[in-house]
Structure 1
Amino acid sequence: MYEYGSRVGAWRILDIFESFNVPLTIFATGKALELNPALAQALVQGGHELAGHGYRWLDYKDIPRSIEKQHIHLTVKLIEKLTGRPLVGWYTGRISAHTRTLVSDIAGLLYTSDAYNDDLPYWLYDKKTLLVIPYTLVNNDIQYFLPGGCATSADFFQLLKDAFDQLWLEGNSAPKLMSVGLHGRISGHPARARAVYQFLQYVADFESVWFCRREEIARHWISTFPASG
């Protein structure tokens, strides 16, 4: 199933987004980029953001701090070599007690997305000031695999549409941010990719919607709502 994502699914999703001229932030594991250099180059050439996602898809809860640190540094170096610029974003996904501290030491890092506790970005004040741009497991195609979740692309499209419509209404009084999480091995299948296409088609009809990468969100937030203290 994972191999389907790298061989077929990720390319299908990439084609859909590029047909709408919508940029992506890719949470990329270092090993996956090494194993699929053609896709890595296509992402870079397409102007998409590569954010760190660990060296491999592991649960770091019980992994020694030294190993996690090594994996972070391997991924940072790999992405910087591919893109020719500093890595600015990170999302481990299955974190340890050390993850946030280790990630905050990445030179040039603008944000972390290892949080699910808000709709909007916020500043975290700990040993270092760090911008958090929360991720989501709700507007996420993992819903296809959850009990009572999405059975068809129509279900997933409706889920995304409902979230967007609610945020659009709330946007009458304040700007809103919507994240959508997709995986090549999940939404890359034809029957599920249809939901992605239909949602982009739906949202494209609304004025004043900004399709952007997480890096652009971070830079906007930093310039508009700078950290205090």
Structure 2
Amino acid sequence: MTPGPGPSSRSGAEDWSDAARAFEARHEIIENFRYPDGIRIAVNFTADFDAMLYRRALDEPPMQKAKGEFGGRVGIWRLIELFDTHGVKATFFTPGRICELYPQALRAAAASGHELADHMWEHLTPKEEELQRDHIRRTADALTRIGGVRPIGTRSYYEQGFLKDEGYLYNSAETTSRLPYYAADDRLENCLLILPFHFSIDDAQFYNFGWFTSEPQAQRLTDPERIMDMWWDAFEQQYELGNGYLNICLHPFVSGRALRTRLLGQLIERMKGKEGVWFPTCAALAQYVLANFPPRSLKF
């Protein structure tokens, strides 16, 4: 019989407690957070414009890759038209490689006043530190050439210190709180503002068969009307709080389908029917928060 492990000097509960304290130490909730006078809720409409890149990295079947191509050739234009028609300024989280594949669409988005933000180079986070730095720089340079503005935001899982070195101010890839908050790295350094989003308000979770190689029994395809109802309920719940926030994540190859885009337009108009609804870009919201509610305990 192989001997079991010797007695531990620490219990599992102690380990979990230490982890919880470390997590708490590197996160800072903004006390007394509020929007400008008259604003009850901020709604960030965001689009992850990754097209077929991740599907190609996973070597998925041609039909899955074709969905991404549709997003780059058709869906992205429909989303730009949607936001322009309804007077919403959106944030397009964009891999650097997409700047080479679909530059016309990105120029159109930037010309309409939408934000172009980082979404990695090829929708992947390399393990090598130098490669991470290289991807961050290359994507920032590519987005700057296309849009004329250096990006300050990302939706990624890079090392925060590398992002700070390149001038990034916010990340939108966490869900620790319902409102914007601050997060530092494990050394309690390199603080970034976090604009949280949640997969329950992500179109890709509801409209896909074969999402990221999931098994047949895990498939889901929800009626668009049902999704709009769920998102409206989420909006109303946040609105009723009087200090709400919603970060809606779309994908051009998903919500760029005609019926879904049409229903999104109806959802936006319902939101606009309420008083005190703000539709900023993520950059505009981040700049407001940083100017009015800088971190107290974490060094930005």
- Does the TM-score normalized on the shorter chain lie above 0.5? yes
Shift of 1:100: 2.3
1:137 equivalenced with 2:205 (yes/no):
no
- What is aligned with 1:38? 104
Counterparts of 1:118 and 1:142 in 2: how far apart (Å)?
Answer: 22
Cα distance change of structure 1 residues 141 and 217 upon mapping to structure 2, 3 Å threshold: same
Q: State the identity %.
A: 27
- What is aligned with 1:120? 179
Counterparts of 1:190 and 1:83 in 2: how far apart (Å)?
Answer: 26
- The count of residues paired between Structure 1 and Structure 2 equals 219
Shift of 1:55: 0.9
- What is aligned with 1:57? 123
- Which amino acid letter does the alignment assign opposite residue 177 of structure 2? D
- Which residue among 145, 149, 170 is the counterpart of 1:81? 145
Shift of 1:201: 1.4
Shift of 1:65: 2.1
Shift of 1:135: 2.2
Shift of 1:208: 0.7
- Which residue among 157, 166, 169 is the counterpart of 1:110? 169
TM-score (norm 1): 0.89
- What is aligned with 1:151? 222
CA displacement 1:166-202 (0-9 Å, x = unmatched): 111111xxx1111100000000111222331121111
Shift of 1:104: 2.3
> Are the equivalent residues in 2 in contact too, given 1:150–1:156 (CA < 8 A)?
no
SS at match of 2:247: coil
SS at match of 2:252: coil
Higher relative contact order (CA 8 A, sep 6+): 2
Cα distance change of structure 1 residues 148 and 157 upon mapping to structure 2, 3 Å threshold: farther
Shift of 1:53: 0.5
CA displacement 1:144-164 (0-9 Å, x = unmatched): 237586511101101110101
- Which amino acid letter does the alignment assign opposite residue 139 of structure 1? I
SS at match of 2:277: coil
Counterparts of 1:197 and 1:149 in 2: how far apart (Å)?
Answer: 23
> Are the equivalent residues in 1 in contact too, given 2:172–2:196 (CA < 8 A)?
yes
- What is aligned with 2:75? 9
Counterparts of 1:82 and 1:16 in 2: how far apart (Å)?
Answer: 21
Q: Which runs of 5+ in 2 are unaligned?
A: 1-66, 212-217
Shift of 1:21: 0.9
- What is aligned with 1:210? 278
- The structure with the larger Rg is 2
Counterparts of 1:157 and 1:136 in 2: how far apart (Å)?
Answer: 15
> Aligned-residue CA RMSD in angstroms?
1.7
SS at match of 1:178: strand
1:225 equivalenced with 2:293 (yes/no):
yes
Counterparts of 1:90 and 1:49 in 2: how far apart (Å)?
Answer: 11
- What is aligned with 1:71? 135
Shift of 1:27: 0.3
TM-score (norm 2): 0.69
- Which amino acid letter does the alignment assign opposite residue 129 of structure 2? R
